[in-house]
Amino acid sequence: MTLAAPALRASTEIAILSPFDGSTVGTLPESSAAEVHARILRARKAAAAFRMSTPYERRRMLDDLAALIARDAETLAQTICAEMGKTITEARGEVRRAQNTLRLSGDAATFLDGEVMHCAIVSGGADRQAVVSYVPTGVVAAITPFNYPINLLCHKLGPAIAAGNAVLVKPSPKAPLAADHLVRLCAEVGFPQDLVQIVHGGAETALALARGPIDLLSFTGGPQAGLALKRASGLVRCLMELGGNDPLIVLPDADLEAAAQTAIGHRYEIAGQSCAAVKKLYVHQAVSADFTDLLRSKVAAHRFGDPADPDTLMGPVIDAAAAADVIARISEARTAGATLLEGGTRNGNLVAPTLLADVPADTRLFATETFGPVLAMTRFDDLATVIGALNASDYGLQAGIFTNDHAAIRLLSRSLQVGGIMVNEGPDFRAEHVPFGGIKSSGLGREGVRIALREMSETRVVID
């Protein structure tokens, strides 16, 4: 059965507003469902030709793209700072990481290895050999969030190109300008026509993409949106990173200075809007008083304000709705018995770095993912209680622990139902080539360029 293409409609403009001062940063045309469908069909033709490319060619393309990002690094950083409120220092760091992601993707293209298996391993088995290899999937739909508009796109685009696929990008309408710039760079590099394309819009555009004749859907966002896209895409393979409610566990022998600095750095980076950021702190009763005093002083000293100022350590959250939600969660937690130690105020989209102690486990602030600069702290005596509470969560992205107690590390690494455990580090730590992702409501599949290359390939067996 052939599905009819969606009807054309007049294009509308998406206005991108600065989270800091509300000014218009730029505009882009919204893509209709018909435009999305047409671009997918063009991508299918490009993918059919590109699947015959060599690993060398793909690696060279990605290296050349990384070089152009380096050339335009300051422009891209300023764009990210303006459109999503990331500090200019954070934005420059993201652009550097994006270059690394693409180069590592190119490197990984040269090691997409298969294997040879003999079929005659049982009595009467055929004297034949099976050659197992990895071939391109086809068209990869890459739907990206606002919080890392360049590097998370490169985590999809890099492995997809390295594996021999075409890519159709849909960035968040809240911060699409840097992604749009990156796709234009693909054309400047000399990528084959229609191999990397971009569409713009919100939920309806994403659903149109998921319902189209794509071969793989790679999505980073929230669980509800992920489930809607999974249902819309049917039997299409999906890779999804859906966020987390990630803990940092501080044990009695921890380096408290390092743990406090990590909690601050990981939670207040991009105003707490990171999927694996420290969302909640479990602090052992034996060190809770000392750790709280240390952490409180650091929170109070954390500078926030204009993200374009190089001295600013933290900028605004993405919009007014996000700011209101964070303040509401703080208020609910205080009503339920939590103690506000620092912050808790809002000025426009600037939410002050906030620290609360003794946060009840059933509050939204503690039980669900909060996308904002709030550290929710609770005390514990028994590690088994922490393990039980974390495993009861719907989320399972990453966890961080501060201790040198090998028995505790071993227990937590075996017991916690999460995708990654960071020792003497925060849960937001990742390296571009290492597998990253979660279980339960935190997602399907893994990112990290080496494993993503296989996730974006099909396994083929030839028996001769």
- Mean of pLDDT values over 119-134: 93
pLDDT tens for residues 42-82? 999 999 999 999 999 999 999 999 999 999 999 999 999 99
| Structural domain 247-423, CATH architecture | 3-Layer(aba) Sandwich (3.40)
Catalytic annotation, residues: 241, 275
- Mean of pLDDT values over 375-387: 97
Q: Tell me where in the chain the CATH 3.40.309.10 domain(s) lie.
A: 247-423
- How far apart CA 413 and CA 452 sit, in angstroms, is 23
pLDDT of residue 3: 44
Q: How many CB atoms lie within 10 A of CB 259?
A: 28
- Select from 252, 295, 281, 287 the least CA-distant residue to 403: 252
pLDDT of residue 139: 98
Residue 25 has pLDDT above 50, yes or no: yes
- Mean of pLDDT values over 320-331: 98
Residue 395 has pLDDT above 70, yes or no: yes
pLDDT of residue 405: 97
- Select from 77, 81, 58 the least CA-distant residue to 196: 58
pLDDT of residue 11: 61
Residue at 361: amino acid letter:
A
- Mean of pLDDT values over 341-367: 97
Residues 6 or more apart in contact with residue 144 via CB below 8 angstroms: 152, 153, 156, 169, 170, 171, 172, 179, 220
Q: Which one has a higher pLDDT value, 321 or 9?
A: 321
Q: Model confidence at 113, in pLDDT bands (50, 70, 90)?
A: confident
**Residue bearing tokens 């699409």:** 176
Residue 4 has pLDDT above 90, yes or no: no
Q: Model confidence at 6, in pLDDT bands (50, 70, 90)?
A: low
User: Which fold does the domain 13-243+440-463 belong to in CATH?
Assistant: Aldehyde Dehydrogenase; Chain A, domain 1 (3.40.605)
Q: Tell me where in the chain the CATH 3.40.605.10 domain(s) lie.
A: 13-243+440-463
Q: Model confidence at 111, in pLDDT bands (50, 70, 90)?
A: confident
